[in-house]
Structure 1
Amino acid sequence: MGREEFVFLLMGLKWTVALSAVAFVCGSIAGLVVALARTCGIAAVERIMAAYIAVFQGTPLLMQLFVVYYGLALVGIKMDAWAAVSLGLTLHASAYLGEIWRGAIEAVPKGQTEAAKALSLGYVSRMKDVLLPQALRISLPATIGFLVQLIKGTSLASIVGFTELTRAGNIISNQIFQPLTVFSVVGALYFLMCCPLTIYGAHLERRFAATSRS
C-alpha cells in the first residue's frame, strides 16, 4: 500500500470525523429535547418519548440507515448519502443520548429540585441553573462512551454508498488485493480516534466516583 492509498484513507477518515461530529452535535440537541420530554411530568409526552427511544434502541442501526436512505425515497423524499446517514445517525444518537441524560437528570438528588421550587424558580430556570449542570456532570462518562460507539457506528454508512473510512478501505482493498494490510491500517485509525476518548471517559468515571465518596 503506497502513499496515494494512504491519502485516500485519510480522506475517508476526514468524512468519518465529519459525520461523527454532525451526528453527535445534532443528536445532542435532539437528545436534550428527548430527555426533557421524558422528565416533563406529562404522562402522554413521556410515553411517546419512551416509544421513540424503544424503537431506536430495539432495532439495528443498519436497519435505521436503510429505512432513512431507501424508505424516505419511496415516499418522495430523496436525499443523498451524506444527508441520509447524517439524519439516520442523528436520530439514533438522539434516542441514546436522550435516555442517558434522562437517567442523569433523575439521578440528581430530589432535594435539589425541592430547594429550587422553594426558591420559586420556574421550570426553565430550575433546569438551566440547577438540574442540567449537575446532570451533565453525572452523564459525561456515559456520553463519551456513546460517542465512541457512534464513531464506530459510522462504518455502517458504507452500506448505502457513503465513502467514509471503512468504505475507503474496501475500495483500496479491491484495487490492490491486500485486505489484511489495508484493514489493519483502517483499524489502527479507528483505534487512534476511539482509544483516547475511552481512556478519558474512564478517567472521568473514576474521578466522579472518588468525588462522590468524599
Structure 2
Amino acid sequence: MIREFTSAEVLFIVLAVRWTLILSAIAFLGGALGGLLIALTRTSQSKALRRIAAGFIQVFQGTPLLMQLFLVYFGLAVVGLPINPLLAAAVALTFHASAYLGEIWRGAIEAVPSGQAEAATALSLSYTDRMRHVVLPQALRLAIAPTVGFLVQLIKGTSLASIIGFTELTRAGQIINNATFKPFLVFGTVAALYFILCWPLSLLARHMETRMRRAITR
C-alpha cells in the first residue's frame, strides 16, 4: 500500500540526520588520529616508514570508498567475523579519512619554512619537541581550511553507507521513497538536509582560505 508523504515521513528523514552526524564525527575523529600519524610518518626521517605511509595513502586514495565499504562489511563476514553496518561504515570511513587528512596535513607540515625546523635543531630541540612546539602549531594554521573542506566531503561520503544497510540520511530517504513513491519530494528533502549540513562548513572553509591568503600576501 502506497503511503502519503506527510510530516511523519519528513520527521523520519530529519531524525536520520543524527546518524549521519554520528558517523561523520566518528570517522573524522578517527581519521584525525590516523591522519596525524600518517602525516608524521610521511615527514619522518625513516625511509621505510615513509614508504609504508605512502603505500597506505595510495591504497585508500586509489580505490573507491564504496569498494572499501564492501570489503570491510562483506569481507569480514566471509572470514567469519560478521560486523554491524555502523561499525563497518565507521572503520571504512576512518581509513578513508586518515589517508586524505594525512596528505593534507603532510602538505601543511612541509609548507612550514625549513628554517623554522633548522633553528629548532640549532637550539638542540629533539624531533618530538621540534614538531610539538615549532612545526605543528604553524602547520595547523595552514591545514584548518582544507581540513574543514574535507569534512564537507566526508559528510557527503557517509551517504554511501546506505549501500550496506546503515540507516543514515540517504537510507532513510530510500525507505520513505519505497513506501510513498514520491522520489522528487523525498530526495529533494534529503538533498535540502545535506545542503543545510554542508553549506555553512563550505562557507567557513572559503572564509578561512581567504584569510590565510591575505595573511600570506601581507
TM-score range, shorter chain: over 0.9
Measure the CA separation in 1 of the matches of 2:144 and 2:83. Answer: 33
Alignment correspondent of 2:193: 189
Query: Partner of 1:52: helix, strand, or coil?
Result: helix
SS where residue 124 of structure 2 aligns?
coil
Asked if 1:210 is matched to 2:214, the reply is yes
Selected match of 1:49 from 26, 47, 53: 53
Aligned mates of 1:198, 1:133 — CA distance in 2 = 23
Tell me if 1:103 matches 2:102: no
Aligned partner of 1:102: which letter?
Answer: R
Per-residue CA deviations over 1:52-73 (Å, capped at 9, x if unaligned) read 0000111100000000101122
TM-score by length of 2: 0.96
1:155-180 deviation per Cα after TM superposition (whole angstroms, max 9, x unaligned): 00000000000000010011111110
In structure 1, C-alpha distance between the alignment counterparts of 2:94 and 2:53, rounded to whole Å: 16
Matched, 1:21 2:25: yes
* Distance across 2 between alignment mates of 1:92 and 1:84: 12
Is 1:155 paired with 2:159? yes
Deviation at 1:85, TM superposition (A): 0.3
* Match for residue 9 of structure 2 among 5, 8, 15: 5
Distance, in Å, in 1 between the alignment partners of 2:129 and 2:80 is 42
Residues 135-193 of structure 1 show CA distances to partners (whole Å, capped at 9, x for unaligned) of 11101111111100000000000000000000000100111111100111100000011
Mapped partners of 1:77, 1:100: distance in 2: 33
Query: Match for 1:66: what amino acid?
Result: F
Structure-1 separation of matches of 2:115 and 2:82 = 50
70, 76, 82: which one aligns with 1:72: 76
For 2:106 and 2:82, the matched residues in 1 are separated by 33
1:176 aligns with 2:180: yes
Give the TM-score taking structure 1 as reference length. Answer: 0.98
Q: Secondary structure at the match of 2:44?
A: coil
The code of the aligned residue for 2:206 comes to A
Counterpart residue number, 1:113: 117
SS of 2:16 mapped into structure 1: helix
- Give the superposition deviation at 1:76: 2.4
Counterpart residue type for residue 3 of structure 1: S
1:75 is displaced (CA, Å) by 1.9
1:60 maps onto 2:48 in alignment: no
Residues 107-153 of structure 1 deviation map (CA, whole Å, 9 limit, x = unaligned): 00001100111111111111111111111110111111110000000
